[in-house]
């Protein structure tokens, strides 16, 4: 199987006795290198699967790796192999060492909405807080990803009001999570790092287990992820580390990614070997030449130049439009013309943009021409109210200390428990230091709530305690089915929905969740509900970044969302100053990252690339003058052609007119 690799790929696969950095350009086969290296370790070096860990950033990438390695070697030879996201690996460590972490088995995972609720409560903020709650929550998240504890944060000298507010509530936020026996998404990295730092026995145990570690997208690692990797591979003095990345595709500094981690490897691992993958298997030569030409304007610690053996291809088309509406019209008309001329499926086409607000006009023009499309970044499955309702019950069953789940579940459906009863429970919980659920049986409740009004909450407590007891032994799917029946949730959905069709759609989502729970439980017949809940919760949060659509539709998405994807025909719109590069990035001297983002967009195209901009654009209701992006001046003139020159050609005009007629006939049947 290894004869399929090119020379550089083979060198990366077979180097197993020293730290290795694989500098993998866009489309150069990095996933193939990782999967084939795992196959090499298992089949040629006889390494046990349980001692090999491959880590990436999305569930989609992890699934793809698992599928490829299983195709290569079969499921038996790969049994025990860990291929996961960073957060899943962190959860594995945390669940294994839960007692040392200060949490108890069955801990809940708070999603971002739960975390915002906690911060809002601690700040005593109302809904009209001018974004303070979001900013404070993000600051706490940043501190955790930088491995800064509440004590360290309190010692930092700060003049920023958001940081000052965050430092005041950070410790209380952590105490709240511990009281709820919960962790947030950032704790999946922060707490494992703390465990490995504080406890020698835990650190040595995991270092002995991790003999080989392969890390994808290394340029996107933050401080916590880098420290976790560095600690785990220290048992082999780093010799088992393979880091795969591309500094030219580092586009996540806004969420803590540190592209300098690639350079830091050379300091932390002096024996580091470097292998460059420069042959691109995705794009035509002109597209790569344009990408190389643009990215050379950035300072680059590692020099590389993508090339392709697939031929030169067509010039890149540049479209200039009078305004944003005309830009959308030109882009959609060009797409329609190309499709009818070449008889291609809609799924061959993608339109990329810097910000979600740019999609509105494109959607309008696509709808006018009856062109089906998929807008990436829509409402996540796990953000739907019916899914959050059911998950609140499951979280509460396995962890009665989860106050956020308690508040959502207790009145869904309504049980006659009003706001005053919840306020009374909250007061008792504050006084006693107990959870809301535990406070129901507290003697202090009598001082705040008359006996008559205690009946409903005590009935809820008794009912839920029964399900919590059953969760220790009953199969998860049976338990969930019984729960939904007893709370008559399908009837509740019907009453809350605006139409029978909406009710049916919402119930179908619940049935999909049931299928997912069944699939997770079926992987291990002895799996208890607490394992299912934590797996679903984490997968749900990470799946939000894994939007997929396999239908025959045009894809609309941000440049950030396009990373890792490829399409035969790509259009990048809005090449204007203050859009790409973005105004905030210009103000904060982050233009280099914006250039990398543009580079990522260019390298999504396989066969053809179009770039567009508008001279005027509506902002806040007013039409404003726009300045073409500086990146347009960085395009190699020998590989581009301007649309106005083509549009004046009589043959082209006739073709476009015919495409419109064909489209109209198709619409009319």
Mind telling me the catalytic residues?
30-31, 216-217, 249, 604
- The DSSP bridge partners found for residue 614 are 321
- H or E stretch at 607: strand 605-614
Give dist(CA 266, CA 21) in Å, integer.
9
Strands 616-619, 622-625: pairing kind:
antiparallel
What sections of 182-250 are H helices per DSSP? 187-198, 200-209, 223-232
Give dist(CA 491, CA 371) in Å, integer.
37
DSSP state of 117: H
Q: Which of 203, 209, 207, 229 is nearest to 48 (CA)?
A: 209
CA 628 remoteness from chain centre: 31
**Six-digit token pair at 30?**
């990095």
Give dist(CA 421, CA 375) in Å, integer.
43
Give dist(CA 292, CA 454) in Å, integer.
70
Other Cβ atoms within 10 Å of 124 Cβ, number: 7
Give dist(CA 351, CA 362) in Å, integer.
9
- The DSSP bridge partners found for residue 278 are none
Q: Which of 369, 287, 290 is nearest to 328 (CA)?
A: 369
Other Cβ atoms within 10 Å of 422 Cβ, number: 16
Rg (CA), the chain: 27
* Sheet with 349-353, edge to edge strand ranges: 373-375, 554-558, 349-353, 567-572, 605-614, 316-321, 640-642
Given a contact cutoff of 8 angstroms between Cβ atoms, the answer to whether 345 and 351 are in contact is no
**Six-digit token pair at 623?**
């039409």
Give dist(CA 512, CA 515) in Å, integer.
5
Q: What is the DSSP string of 492-554?
A: HHHHHSSSHHHHHHHHHHHHHHHHHHHHHHHT-TT--HHHHHHHHHHHHHHHTT-----SS-E
Q: Which of 53, 58, 52, 15 is nearest to 33 (CA)?
A: 15
Omega before residue 413 within 30° of 0, cis: yes
Residues comprising the chain, all counted: 669
**Six-digit token pair at 269?**
């691992």
Q: Which of 8, 618, 558 is nearest to 274 (CA)?
A: 8
The residues, ordered by sequence, that sit 6+ positions from 28 with a Cβ below 8 Å of its Cβ are 277, 278, 279, 280, 281, 306
Give dist(CA 607, CA 344) in Å, integer.
12
Omega before residue 101 within 30° of 0, cis: no
Given a contact cutoff of 8 angstroms between Cβ atoms, the answer to whether 23 and 3 are in contact is no
C-alpha distances out from residue 355 to 558, 573, 579, 580, 618, Å: 6, 10, 8, 9, 14
The residues, ordered by sequence, that sit 6+ positions from 540 with a Cβ below 8 Å of its Cβ are 111, 380, 381, 382, 387, 391
Q: Exposed, middle or buried, 661 (CB in 10 Å: 0-12/13-18/19+)? A: exposed
Given a contact cutoff of 8 angstroms between Cβ atoms, the answer to whether 189 and 86 are in contact is yes
């Amino acid at each position: 199987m290894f004869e399929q690799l090119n020379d550089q790929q083979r060198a990366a696969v077979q180097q197993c006795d020293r730290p290795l950095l694989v500098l993998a350009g866009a489309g150069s086969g990095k996933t193939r290198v990782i999967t084939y290296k795992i196959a090499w370790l298992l089949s040629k070096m006889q390494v046990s699967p349980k001692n090999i860990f491959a880590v990436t950033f999305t569930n989609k990438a992890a699934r793809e790796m698992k599928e490829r390695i299983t195709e290569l070697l079969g499921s038996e030879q790969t049994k025990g192999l860990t291929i996961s996201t960073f957060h899943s690996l962190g959860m594995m460590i945390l669940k294994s060492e839960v007692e040392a972490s200060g949490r108890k088995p069955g801990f809940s995972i708070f999603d971002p909405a739960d975390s915002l609720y906690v911060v809002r409560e601690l700040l005593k903020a109302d809904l009209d807080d001018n974004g303070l709650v979001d900013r404070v929550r993000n600051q706490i998240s940043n501190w955790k990803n930088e491995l800064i504890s509440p004590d360290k944060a309190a010692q930092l000298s700060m003049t920023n009001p958001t940081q000052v507010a965050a430092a005041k509530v950070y410790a209380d936020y952590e105490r709240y999570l511990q009281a709820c026996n919960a962790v947030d998404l950032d704790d999946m990295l922060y707490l494992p790092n703390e465990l490995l730092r504080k406890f020698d026995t835990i650190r040595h145990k995991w270092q002995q287990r991790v003999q080989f570690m392969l890390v994808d997208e290394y340029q996107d690692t933050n401080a916590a992820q880098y420290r976790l990797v560095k600690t785990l591979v220290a048992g082999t003095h780093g010799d088992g580390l393979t880091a795969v990345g591309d500094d030219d595709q580092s586009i996540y500094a806004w969420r803590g990614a540190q592209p300098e981690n690639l350079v830091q490897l050379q300091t932390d691992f002096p024996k580091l070997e470097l292998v460059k993958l420069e042959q691109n298997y995705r794009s035509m030569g002109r597209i790569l030449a344009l990408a190389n030409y643009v990215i050379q304007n950035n300072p680059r610690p590692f020099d590389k130049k993508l090339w392709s053996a697939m031929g030169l291809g067509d010039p890149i088309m540049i479209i200039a439009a009078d305004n944003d509406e005309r830009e959308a019209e030109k882009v959609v008309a060009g797409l329609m013309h190309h499709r009818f001329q070449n008889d291609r499926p809609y799924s061959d086409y993608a339109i990329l943009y810097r910000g979600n607000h740019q999609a509105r006009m494109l959607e309008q023009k696509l709808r006018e021409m009856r062109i089906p499309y998929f807008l990436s970044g829509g409402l996540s499955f796990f953000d739907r109210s019916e899914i959050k309702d059911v998950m609140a019950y499951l979280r509460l069953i396995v962890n009665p200390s989860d106050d956020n789940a308690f508040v959502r579940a207790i009145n869904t459906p309504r049980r006659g428990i009003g706001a005053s009863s919840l306020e009374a429970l909250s007061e008792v919980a504050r006084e006693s230091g107990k959870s809301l659920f535990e406070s129901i049986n507290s003697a202090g409740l009598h001082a705040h709530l008359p006996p008559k009004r205690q009946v409903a909450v005590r009935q809820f407590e008794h009912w839920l305690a029964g399900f919590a007891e059953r969760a220790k032994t009953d199969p998860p799917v049976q338990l969930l089915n019984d729960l939904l029946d007893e709370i008559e949730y399908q009837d509740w959905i019907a009453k809350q929905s605006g139409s029978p069709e909406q009710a049916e759609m919402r119930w179908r989502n619940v049935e999909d969740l049931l299928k997912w729970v069944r699939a997770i439980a079926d992987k291990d017949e002895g799996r208890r509900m607490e394992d299912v809940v934590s797996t679903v919760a984490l997968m749900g949060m990470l799946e939000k970044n894994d939007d997929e659509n396999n239908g025959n539709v045009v894809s609309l998405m941000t440049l950030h969302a396009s990373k890792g994807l490829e399409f035969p025909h790509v259009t990048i719109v809005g090449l204007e100053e203050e859009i790409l590069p973005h105004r905030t990035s210009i103000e904060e001297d982050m233009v280099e990252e914006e250039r990398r983002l543009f580079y990522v967009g260019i390298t999504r195209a396989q066969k053809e690339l179009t770039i567009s901009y508008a001279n005027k654009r509506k902002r806040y209701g007013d039409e404003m003058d726009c300045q073409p992006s500086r990146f347009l001046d960085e395009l190699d003139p020998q590989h581009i052609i301007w649309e106005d020159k083509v549009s004046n050609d009589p043959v082209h005009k006739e073709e476009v007119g015919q495409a419109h007629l064909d489209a109209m006939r198709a619409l009319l049947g």
